[in-house]
Amino acid sequence: MEATTFVLFGATGDLARRKIYPALYNLFLDHKLNHSFSVIGLGRREVADEAFQAMVERSIRDFSRREVKDSASVRSFLKSFRYNVLDVGHTEDYKKLLQRVEQQEKRAGGSPNRMFYLSVGPEFFETIAFNIKQSGLGNAKGWKRLVIEKPFGHDLLSAQELNQKLSEAFTEEEIYRIDHYLGKPMVQELDVFQQSNPVLHALWNNRYISNVQITAAETVGVEERAGYYDHVGALRDMFQNHMLQLLMMLAIRLPKDSSPDEVRFKKKEVMEALESLDEGDVQFNVVRGQYTAGTIQGKPVQGYLSEPGIPAGSTNDTFIAARLQIDDPFWKDVPFYIRTGKRMKEKSTRIVIEFKEPLKQSSSAGENDIPNLLVFEISPNEGLTLQLKARDPQHKGKFKAMHIDFHTSSIEVPEAYENLIHDALHGDPSFFAHWNEVELSWKWVQPILNAFDKNTVPLHTYAAGSFGPAESDQLLAKKGHHWWLDT
């Protein structure tokens, strides 16, 4: 591969320290960065190259999934890191940056590539893209790519406007929109399981599947992000992006050995087949919640309205549950239940597939009801469990659950950011959000945003440390279903 300069906007920020440097370090250890790969970190503060390298070293020591032992390899990794001061609004700073990039490229020779990584607030996205183009930084001899973090817009209109602005500087093929859930190893397995295993492939439809339950539960509250979170809520922060991406990845039916374009085309098809809600339907299909005080893992925690920085009387959603239907021949009449929330009982992202039970007459969950489930544990544990209904030999006439389990050790598995940065460097967009998906997701979510703004949907409370408001259970009970694995 030709030399690549990784130009990182927001180089002293939290995401860079927690995720990006550790990911680059692990790629380096796995020999997945080529020898003429270099990083130029950018930030508003003056920082000398040596101080920047020391910061990167601290970050990998604190956050790398592998323990940092070998100082020689750390030194060799850090050699490729440089720092430039840049104020995103100053055109002069981009010119200086261009000079530095060109100096490095001259040393490397060939047709070098430029990867621009925006790890900054969304208010800077357009300005940076514009200045990259204006300054000539966008005229790479090799390829150029833009990696961009969420949030991609605040609603449908702002997302469209942002995309329009970005497309003046980068083509769709050059834009890599990060959704870190797509980098999670188990999410990257979903299509393979379904495609390459004839058992799963045969069962992956409405003939055998009763319903699908996608949960992303978190124990943390708003943390120090009140200013951001109170304007977005769970719907924008998690649902519009991560949760709908999980739904797409589970529901796509891919031909064997699909190209990245086919993967994204099929995801778009899923979104197009998603039955849209109008504002009036929202209250029947969506539950909006906000946490009150409670106890999590033995520790008392305060309610959302008492969190520092949250305005009195805020109606922001910290929990969302929704029922969605995909109107295509595979999924018609299979409800997809999705929920996500802060301050829930446990940290767990999982997908539970409940199979139909051919001999069962009623679909209500009874005392001796043991469902046949396939569970994908996405994080923090990674694994797969098949739960089968079996006879209980000790209690005649009763059944019990039999489990077939597989779990991986997280140290061995690359982290989401390793997968994503690797793919972006290699020009594989399969696990990045295409504009079509982003736009269709906002279209689906927009009536819910409108209904929340107009307050036509009740705001239910739930105690911190629970699995959300009782109305979330009722949403499933209406169809005779039940959230599984809430223990």
What positions carry a catalytic annotation? 242
| Shortest distance (Å) from residue 217 CB to ligand BG6 | 9
> In this complex, which beta carbon is closest to ligand BG6, that of residue 122 or of residue 260?
122
Minimum Å distance from CB 349 to ligand BG6?
Answer: 5
What one-letter code names the amino acid at 129?
A
408 in a known ligand binding site = no
Q: Contact between 354 and ligand BG6 (CB under 6 A)?
A: no
User: What part of residues 221-240 is at the interface with ligand BG6 (CB under 6 A)?
Assistant: 237
The reply on whether position 218 binds ligand BG6 by CB under 6 A is yes
- Tell whether residue 256 is among the known ligand binding residues: no
Per-residue burial over 273-282, b = 16 or more CB atoms within 10 Å of its CB, e = otherwise? bbeebebeeb
Residue 245 is a binding residue for ligand BG6 (CB under 6 A):
no
One symbol per residue from 313 to 352: x for binding ligand BG6 (CB under 6 A), - otherwise; what is it? ------------------------------------x---
Q: Which residue is nearest to ligand BG6 (CB)?
A: 237
Residue located via tokens 């190893």: 185
Confirm or deny that 69 is annotated as ligand binding.
no
Binding-site member from 379, 381, 408, 450 for ligand BG6 (CB under 6 A):
379
CB 53 within 8 A of CB 11: no
Rounded Cα distance, 62 and 216, in Å: 26
Q: What is the Cα–Cα distance from 57 to 68, expressed in whole angstroms? A: 9
d(C-alpha 460, C-alpha 470), whole Å = 9
Question: Interface with ligand BG6 includes 105 (CB under 6 A)?
Answer: no
- Does the annotation list 269 as a binding residue? no
Report d(CA 465, CA 469) in Å as an integer. Answer: 11
- Strand order of the β-sheet with 113-118 is 81-85, 37-43, 4-9, 113-118, 144-148, 175-177
Q: Which one, 187 or 287, has the nearer CB to ligand BG6?
A: 187
Helices marked H in 136-251: 156-166, 185-196, 198-203, 226-234, 244-251
10 annotated among ligand-binding-site residues: yes
Q: Does 439 interact with ligand BG6 (rule: CB under 6 A)?
A: no
Work out whether strand 175-177 and strand 144-148 pair parallel, antiparallel, or are unpaired: parallel
Q: What is the DSSP letter of 344?
A: B
Q: How far is the CB of 118 from ligand BG6 (least distance, A)?
A: 15
Q: Which two tokens stand for residue 459?
A: 């705001």
Residue 26 found at the interface with ligand BG6 (CB under 6 A): no
Binding residues for NADP(+): 10-17, 44, 87-88, 150
Q: Which residues here bind ligand BG6, judged by CB under 6 A?
A: 216, 218, 237, 349, 379
